[in-house]
Amino acid sequence: MAVETETIREGRVSGALVKQIARKIFLEDWLMKLVALAVTFALWLGVTGLSTPTTTRLTGVPLTLRFSSNTEVTNSPIQEVDIVITGDKRRVNQINKNDLIVSVDLTDVGAGDRVIQLTPETVSLALPTGVKLDEIQPNRIAIRLEPVEEKEVEVQVQTSGSVAEGSEIYGQASVPAKVRVRGPAGFIRSLSTVSTEDIDISGRSADFTSRQIPLILSNPKATVLETSTVDVGFRIGEKRMERIFLLPAGDGKRATVVLFGPRSLLLGVQASDLKIITPEESGTEPTLELPPSLQGSVEIRKLDAGR
């Protein structure tokens, strides 16, 4: 009987304890518990909202082509594509289209005309975790790959304007005189010269040098190796002319001589200033002896010793 009474007493205590715990859980501090429940619900909503999938189309994303150093794309393929991406809505909304670049690896593609497929598997695009690339439009592009070659060509000097009245250009030379050019084979094989930018010679009457003159290539895919500029030297002097002289050549013969040089210098020359050296005197073909004042300035363009 005593044992039974003790058991009943323990049961009553346990029941009272359960009621006390239930009261604390459901009735006491109910406002704090309600706030905690609201916070928990907000966190749950945020997490489930983050994982809500969404699909977005982005237009005008830059397209870049990566190819080996021994080939060059010589046509004009498209430079932008449209893409469709799918992923967590919040992460998709955080993407800045200006930060995206679709890249295609062509390093293993041989030279020739090719059609390249653009799929999520054949392109590279950096996207946040949880976002994937679904589609690309257009989904293929036509490209022309040419092998790259090198060639040494002469520098062609280009000028603008005119030298001073009564003057002319005696000669011009660039340093270096030749440069090495690298570019698509079709362009390089047809290239014979590379031009300088125009050099203004307006009013010039004496020698001068223009330094660091840029070289110009009509093909943007081609480049000049080692140097992209040259120095150009000009020899400028008095306008030149030809003058004919008839000179005695021995044995009653007369020689016809044509000289070319500065006008004022030739107009001051007399036939007596010139002397024909006959074969009897030289042991070879007839030659013309110029006075020291003409040497280095006058060119002998013709010497006909006659008969």
pLDDT in tens, 197-246: 999 999 999 999 999 999 999 898 999 999 999 999 999 999 999 999 99
For residue 90, what pLDDT band results from cuts at 50, 70 and 90?
A: confident
DSSP string for residues in the chain: -HHHHHHHHHHHHHHHHHHHHHHHHHTTTHHHHHHHHHHHHHHHHHHHHHT-EEEEEEEEEEEEEE--TTEEE-S---SEEEEEEEEEHHHHHT--GGG--EEEE-TTPPSEEEEEE--TTTEE----TTEEEEEEES-EEEEEEEEEEEEEEEEE--EES-PPTTEEEEEEEEESSEEEEEEEHHHHHH--EEEEPPEE-TT--S-EEEEEEEEE-S-TT-EESS-SEEEEEEEEEEPEEEEEEEEE-STT-EEEEEEEEEHHHHHT--GGG-EEE-HHHHSSS-EEEPPTTTTTT-EEEEEE---
Model pTM above 0.85: no
Percentage, residues of the chain above pLDDT 90: 65
- Structure-token pair, residue 180: 């090495």
Predicted confidence (pLDDT) at residue 259 exceeds the cutoff of 90: yes
Predicted confidence (pLDDT) at residue 281 exceeds the cutoff of 50: yes
Are the CB atoms for 217 and 192 separated by under 8 Å?
Answer: no
For residue 124, what pLDDT band results from cuts at 50, 70 and 90?
A: very high
Predicted confidence (pLDDT) at residue 293 exceeds the cutoff of 80: yes
d(Cα 300, Cα 111) in Å, to the nearest integer? 56
Predicted confidence (pLDDT) at residue 3 exceeds the cutoff of 50: no
In this structure, the number of other CB atoms found within 10 A of the CB of residue 216 comes to 14
For residue 100, what pLDDT band results from cuts at 50, 70 and 90?
A: very high
Q: Which residue has the higher pLDDT, 118 or 7?
A: 118
In this structure, the number of other CB atoms found within 10 A of the CB of residue 300 comes to 15
**Cβ burial, residue 171 (10 Å; 0-12/13-18/19+):** exposed
Are the CB atoms for 265 and 297 separated by under 8 Å?
Answer: yes
Predicted confidence (pLDDT) at residue 131 exceeds the cutoff of 50: yes
Which residue bears the tokens 């189309």? Answer: 57
- Structure-token pair, residue 272: 């007596």
- Structure-token pair, residue 169: 């250009």
Question: If we measure between CA atoms, which residue out of 230, 256, 139 comes closest to residue 177?
Answer: 230
What pLDDT is recorded for position 231? 98
Calculate the average pLDDT of the chain. 86
pLDDT tens column, 38-65: 666 566 555 555 557 899 999 999 999 9
Predicted confidence (pLDDT) at residue 267 exceeds the cutoff of 80: yes
